[in-house]
Structure 1
Amino acid sequence: MNKLDSALLNILIKDARASYADIARQLGISRAHARTRVQGLVTSGVIEQFSAVVNPEKLGKVISLFIDLKVAPAQLETVSQELADCQEVVSLYIMSDLQSLHIHTLTDSFESFDAFARRRIFNRPEVLSVDCKMLMSRVKHRRGGPRL
Structure 2
Amino acid sequence: MKEEKVSRLDEVDEKILSILQKDARASFREISKKLGISASTAFLRTKKLEKAGVIKKFAIVLDMEKMGWDMTVAISIKVKGGFLEEVEEKLAKSENVMAVYDITGDWDVLAIAKFKGREELNGFVKRLLTTPHVEHTCTYTVLNIVKEMIVN
TM-score, length basis structure 2: 0.87
Residue in structure 2 matched with residue 107 of structure 1 by the alignment: 115
Aligned to 1:26: 34
The higher-RCO structure (CA 8 Å, 6+ apart) is: 1
* Aligned AA (1:96): T
How many residues align structurally?
143
Matched, 1:134 2:135: no
The reply on whether 1:90 has 2:98 as its aligned counterpart is: yes
- Partners of 1:96 and 1:40 in 2: CA distance: 34
Distance in 1, matches of 2:132 and 2:91, equals 15
Q: Tell me the equivalent position of 1:70.
A: 78
- Structure 1: tracts of 5 or more residues without a match: none
Q: TM-score, normalization: structure 1?
A: 0.89
C-alpha displacement of 1:30? 1.1
| Corresponding residue SS for 1:132 | strand
Query: The residue matched to 2:126 in structure 1 has which SS?
Result: helix
Contact 1:90 1:105 in 2 (8 A): yes
Structure 1 residues 144, 94: closer, same or farther in 2, change over 3 A? closer
Structure 2: gaps of 5 or more residues = 1-8
Q: In the superposition, relative to structure 1, how do residues 45 and 98 fare at CA in structure 2: closer, same or farther (>3 Å)?
A: farther
Change (3 A) 1:81 1:123: same
1:66 partner SS: strand
Runs of 4+ in 1 over 6 A off after TM superposition: none
Instruction: Flag the 1:98–1:35 CA change in 2: closer, same or farther, 3 A.
Output: farther
Distance 1:66 1:78, change over 3 A: same
1:43 counterpart residue number: 51
Shift of the alpha carbon at 1:95?
Answer: 1.4
Match of 1:61 in 2: 69
- What do you get for the CA RMSD once the two structures are aligned? 1.8
Deviation digits for residues 46-80 of structure 1 (CA, Å, limit 9, x no counterpart): 11111111111011001111100010121111111
SS in 2 for 1:59: coil
Identity %: 29
CA distance in 2, matches of 1:9, 1:123: 42
